[in-house]
Structure 1
Amino acid sequence: MKIFIAGASGAIGGHLVPQLVARGHEVVGTTRSAAKTAALRALGAEPVIVDALDPDSVADAVARAEPEVIVHQLTALSGPPDFRHVKRMAEATDRLRTEGTDHLLAAARAAGVGRFVAQSNAMWMERSGGPVADEDGRIEPNPPADIARSVAALRHLEEAVTGITWGDGIALRYGGFYGPGTGISAEPGAVMTEQIGRRKFPIVGGGGGVWSLVHITDAASATVAAIERGKPGIYHVADDEPASVRDWLPELARALGAKPPRRVPAPLVRLLAGKGPVDLMTRARGVSSEKIKRELGWAPRHPTWRTGFTEGLR
């Protein structure tokens, strides 16, 4: 198939593009930066520079590409997490998940695209119903005020994509990425790895928030499965072992050769960084990926972060 990947130069694009090319697909990949076109070409994609917030730029690129599938991987999450300025840090990604999604969907409909696959996020599942949610679970309806705009942007993306009637709309709720090309890897410059090494990524409160993680190559292979044979709706993409922050974060620090993470009282973090980061660290729910395994035959190469941290960070 001919596949148009919006945001192909991001973390997942570096793994998704070569997997698709290896399977015989033709890939057109967008980037905002001319400096990244050579890297996309080296991966096997035809690069195109697109401003995802300009509807005319998006419509023109999609019309020229004439794809059968559009994959929405647009984010603006590079750089170190700034928990003291959560709203400002997330603003660009929020616009890509709202305005950017709408522009891509309009272009897809005009071009007769049959399938639309979009990146969502599993970190903000509704904070009730047990430690692990399946796809029947919804995005948290009452998030902390300082993160409400970002959660609403996720909700907008999912509703817009899965609500299309002219094609197959698929939203992938990914767990937290780790591995080469992400912020958690053994590569120089990996931003979260550096923060963990400096003990600036602490366990907040009791660290009881449950996170689902996924190696970036597994996230890419799940996306390939959704592109090739997914059904309209939502799929969770994560490994088989959701775990509390207090369990997985010390293991990650150990795998990186760093000192154990500090422990910081929740009220202090709430005062300095707001309620959103505290909620993620203390109330988050994990997700089950049984649906994508059952329906699409996907299986992660790293079924647990325990081996993934020791074998898959390089």
Structure 2
Amino acid sequence: MTQVTFDFCQQSSGHPVQVANPDRRAREPTMRVLVAGATGAIGKELVPRLVEAGHEVFAMVRSESGKSGAARLGAVPVIADALDRSQVEAAVREAAPEVIVNQLTAIGDIDTRHFERSFAATSRLRIEGNDNLLAAARATGVRRFVAQSNGAFTYDRTGGRVKSEQDPLDRSPIAPMASMIAAVEHLEKAVLSADWTEGIVLRYGAFYGPGTSMAPGSEQMEMIRKRKFPVVGDGGGVWSFIHIADAAEATVAAVENGGRGVYNIVDDDPAPVAEWLPELAAMLGAKKPLRVPRFIGRLAAGEAGVVLMTELRGASNAKAKRELGWHPAHPTWRQGLQPVA
């Protein structure tokens, strides 16, 4: 049985960035914005959009080698290891931002058989790195703090198939996913309880598009093309997707217009695996995916892989559209994945 892997999203990309709202500069205020994680997949889409909007953007990078990449995006680089509190505070003091955007992750290919290990570095960043940024933000009087969270596979797996921001995260996670969800909960609680700033949490869906695991020619796409990505069980797990460019646009909206709280950043079309996977295979010109029972899926992809395939709940974007004035340019993965496929 071929191993099934899922790789959600934070890889770098050399693709040129297209800014969806080039006239934003003329109508939005200018702010000083510090982006941590500026050279990841979403950071590479976000930073040029903030610059285009007229904001003065600073990119927190870990070493001298990251400075040129940040500069190419249009940002002023400041150096700090996110896990070193004194370095983070020095970088934040140097940038003196009004807004901090935390996009810190360290996600590569996710082996669902070793899910906890795949997320260990990112979980540490969501706890220690985020706490360091918050401490520096408090010390320097940052007025708005926007943080990346996860709405793709963290919601409680009971009840309705589509969740709003008021619904709880998974209250009884399986063991391999428990530490990842605990780190998300830590980050969200820390940001939302910081009464000295305007804390905003963005729960992104599963990314696709340039720089992600669902990019043209990616390993995941090739697995689907070669029928090595089967539907497990009934394929009833509901996924909410978001194009990486739409995620960046929503983040700009949160920076400029967001109020304290949580926002699901997903498209309009949550869909079960049994629906989206065969349709994507058809876009790729491939045969329908194989179907395997849960016990075979567990052997190949582990318990986490079975949960992702059969038990996930999707998310609603109604609040983000209503309160941020944001609408995804790719309202459905059916449209957005066509050029990717």
**Could you tell me which of 91, 106, 114 is aligned with 1:61?**
91
- The match for 1:23 among 24, 36, 53 is 53
Kept in 2: contact 1:9–1:30 (CA 8 A) = no
**What amino acid is the match of 1:207?**
G
Instruction: String of CA shifts for 1:159-190, please: whole Å, max 9, x gaps.
Output: 1111111010010011110011111111x5x3
Q: TM-score, normalised by structure 1?
A: 0.94
Please give the per-residue CA displacement for 1:277-303, whole angstroms capped at 9, x wherever unaligned: 211211111111111111121101010
- For the aligned residue pairs, the C-alpha RMSD in angstroms reads 1.6
**1:178 pairs with 2:208:** yes
Say whether residues 1:295 and 2:323 are aligned partners: yes
Unaligned segments of structure 1, at least 5 residues = none
| 2:170 aligns with one of 122, 127, 140 | 140
Q: Stretches of 4+ moved more than 4 A in 1? A: none
Comparing 38-47 with 218-227, greater Cα deviation is found at: 38-47
Deviates further, 274-283 or 218-227: 274-283
Provide Cα deviations, 1:128-163, integer angstroms capped at 9, x if missing partner. 221101111111111001110111111111111111
Q: Which amino acid aligns with 1:244?
A: P
The worse-fitting range, judged by mean Cα deviation, of 54-63 and 194-203 is 194-203
Q: Provide the residue aligned with 1:87 in structure 2.
A: 116
User: Does residue 79 of structure 2 align to residue 38 of structure 1?
Assistant: no
Distance 1:265 1:33 in 2: 47
Tell me the distance in 1 between the aligned counterparts of 2:126 and 2:261: 17
Matched ranges for 1:95-134 at <5 A: 95-122=124-151, 123-134=153-164
Distance 2:227 2:87 in 1: 42
Following TM superposition, by how much is the alpha carbon of 1:88 offset from its aligned partner in structure 2, in angstroms? 1.2
Instruction: Name the counterpart of 2:223.
Output: 195
Shift of residue 198, structure 1, vs aligned partner: 4.2
The answer to whether the 8 Å contact 1:146/1:274 transfers is: no
Q: Distance in 2 between matches of 1:76 and 1:27?
A: 22
What amino acid does structure 1 have at the position aligned with 2:162?
Answer: V
Alignment of 1:155-234 (within 5 A): 155-186=185-216, 188=217, 190-234=218-262
Taking the aligned partners of 1:4 and 1:106, their CA distance within structure 2 comes to 14
CA contact (8 A) 1:3 1:68 kept: yes
Amino acid at match of 2:125: L
- In 2, Cα distance between equivalents of 1:39 and 1:201: 34
Match of 2:279 among 230, 239, 251: 251
Aligned partners of 1:195 and 1:119: how far apart in 2? 28
- Cα distance 1:58–1:202, how it changes in 2: closer, same or farther (>3 A)? farther
Q: Which residue is 1:74 aligned to?
A: 104
Deviation at 1:236? 0.6
Give the aligned length.
310
Contact preservation (8 Å) 1:117, 1:171: yes
User: CA shift at 1:101, angstroms?
Assistant: 1.1
The DSSP-based 3-state class of the residue aligned with 2:327 is coil
Distance 2:240 2:146 in 1: 21
The superposition leaves residues 67-118 of structure 1 with CA deviations (integer Å, 9 ceiling, x where unpaired) of 000101011112x221222121110011011111111111110111000000
Distance in 1 between residues matched to 2:300 and 2:149, nearest whole Å: 28
| Secondary structure of 2:41 counterpart | coil
The alpha-carbon deviation at position 255 of structure 1 amounts to: 2.6
Q: Which amino acid aligns with 1:128?
A: T
Cα distance in 1 for residues equivalent to 2:226 and 2:92: 43
Within 5 Å, which residues of 2 pair with 1:300-311? Answer: 300-311=328-339
Secondary structure of the corresponding residue to residue 126 of structure 2:
helix
